[in-house]
């Protein structure tokens, strides 16, 4: 792989291309300033305007959400894993059909493996533009987003209609549902009753991990296994996540039998392979080809940590509670 080949598999933070009309709440006051980024894979955007940076299948999707202060992402559900880590800012995550079943606040570096089958939303409660990075299970990310009924009704009042085909139609642009396409039906009372509403202890205790705790676990010289069958968040979402720190990074060359992803949280990292090297900064995302011998080590002094993601043979689906 030449440096030019590898650069095509790196998405720099400063080169991210946002979509401001990605989801049904794009016109709803309070949610109308959010930006959606699809970095690896097709993601779950409902808009044809969404730019996909790297379309190579990885067994999972990588995306991001950028929002100014007090902007929120409306309550929705997923059929496969949705994992967030905070890259920048301070974020409140909340869940339940109306967002009142529980909440947790995450700081930079913290990670949240949100269980499937719950309505969830999030809000930037910091003082500046914030960014959270996302990992979604499966190449098709479960086929799309399931919205709480009131979100669909609010959106319709502001000109956006979601078709049963999963596509958005904007009456402000003169668009309407095509012939033969019906609006996305609202969940019935029976369907809503089957959506989980776990309490705070169940969610925070099982699925949230703090950055400083993970860094401490990696001080022994081994990366912290964050998500996986034997990790500190026990789940089999179709991928594994580890936090690599300065103390746990190795110069030994290694490879994986499928593409992997490197996502720095702090510090600068030099990735070296037979044919070249590249330096990554926080917010950059790098797709490492399968079977490519490489390593990743900090390139400067100071704090340094990155998340490493690689697919497993486990099928993407509901949260594993083994």
- The CATH number of residue 274's host domain is 2.60.120.10
228 pLDDT above the threshold of 90: yes
Q: Average the pLDDT over 75-100 and give the result.
A: 97
- Please give the order of strands across the beta sheet that includes 146-147: 102-106, 91-95, 120-124, 72-77, 146-147
Bridge-based pairing of strands 130-137 and 60-67 is antiparallel
Nearest to 288 by CA among 309, 268, 259: 259
The pLDDT-based confidence of 129 (bands split at 50, 70, 90) is very high
Q: Identify whether the C-beta of residue 23 lies closer than 8 Å to the C-beta of residue 152.
A: no
pLDDT at 141: 83
Q: How far is CA 284 from the centre of its chain?
A: 14
Among the candidates 184, 208, 232, a domain finishes at 208
Grouping H, G, I as helix, E, B as strand and the rest as coil, residue 221 is: coil
- Do 27 and 142 share a domain, yes or no? yes
Which residue range is the domain that position 15 belongs to? Answer: 3-208
pLDDT at 143: 79
Residue 317 lies in a domain: no
The percentage of the chain sitting over the pLDDT mark of 70, rounded to a whole number, equals 100
pLDDT at 322: 78
Alpha helices (H) in the chain, listed in sequence order: 3-7, 149-157, 189-193, 200-207, 211-217
Q: Average the pLDDT over 229-255 and give the result.
A: 98
- Do 199 and 128 share a domain, yes or no? yes
CB atoms within 10 A of CB 276: 14
142 pLDDT above the threshold of 80: no
The number of distinct structural domains making up the chain is 2
Task: Quote the CA–CA distance of 59 and 310 in Å, as a whole number.
Answer: 8
- Do 155 and 219 share a domain, yes or no? no
Nearest to 37 by CA among 50, 25, 28: 50
- Do 123 and 19 share a domain, yes or no? yes
pLDDT at 116: 97
Residue 321 lies in a domain: no
Among the candidates 146, 175, 208, a domain finishes at 208
282 pLDDT above the threshold of 90: yes
Task: Quote the CA–CA distance of 90 and 156 in Å, as a whole number.
Answer: 30
* Tokens matching residue 162: 């979601």
Q: Average the pLDDT over 244-265 and give the result.
A: 98
Task: Quote the CA–CA distance of 217 and 244 in Å, as a whole number.
Answer: 10
Q: Average the pLDDT over 219-242 and give the result.
A: 97
* Tokens matching residue 125: 């409660």
pLDDT at 255: 98
């Amino acid at each position: 792989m030449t440096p030019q080949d590898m650069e095509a598999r790196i998405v720099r933070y400063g080169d991210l291309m946002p979509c401001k009309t990605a989801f049904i709440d794009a016109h709803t006051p309070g949610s109308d300033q959010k930006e959606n980024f699809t970095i690896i894979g097709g993601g779950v955007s409902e808009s044809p305007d969404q730019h996909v940076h790297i379309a190579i299948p990885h067994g999972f999707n990588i995306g991001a959400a950028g929002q100014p202060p007090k902007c929120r992402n409306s309550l929705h559900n997923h059929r496969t894993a949705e994992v967030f880590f905070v890259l920048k800012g301070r974020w409140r995550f909340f869940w339940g059909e109306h967002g009142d079943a529980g909440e947790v606040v995450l700081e930079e570096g913290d990670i949240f493996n949100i269980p499937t089958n719950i309505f969830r939303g999030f809000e930037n409660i910091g003082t500046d533009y914030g960014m959270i990075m996302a990992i979604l299970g499966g190449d098709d990310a479960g086929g799309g987003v399931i919205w709480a009924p009131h979100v669909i009704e609010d959106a319709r009042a502001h000109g956006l209609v979601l078709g049963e085909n999963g596509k958005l139609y904007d009456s402000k642009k003169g668009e309407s549902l095509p012939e033969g396409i019906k609006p996305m039906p609202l969940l019935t009372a029976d369907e809503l009753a089957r959506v989980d509403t776990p309490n705070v202890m169940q969610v925070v205790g099982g699925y949230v991990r703090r950055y400083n705790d993970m860094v401490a676990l990696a001080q022994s010289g081994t990366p912290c296994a964050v998500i996986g069958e034997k990790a500190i968040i026990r789940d089999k979402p179709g991928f594994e996540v580890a936090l690599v720190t300065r103390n746990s990074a190795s110069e030994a060359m290694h490879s994986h039998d499928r593409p992997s992803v490197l996502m720095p949280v702090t510090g600068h990292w030099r990735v070296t392979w037979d044919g070249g090297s590249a330096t990554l900064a926080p917010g950059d995302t790098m797709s490492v080809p399968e079977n490519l011998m490489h390593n990743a080590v900090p390139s400067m002094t100071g704090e340094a940590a990155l998340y490493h993601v690689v697919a497993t043979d486990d099928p993407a689906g509901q949260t594993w509670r083994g």
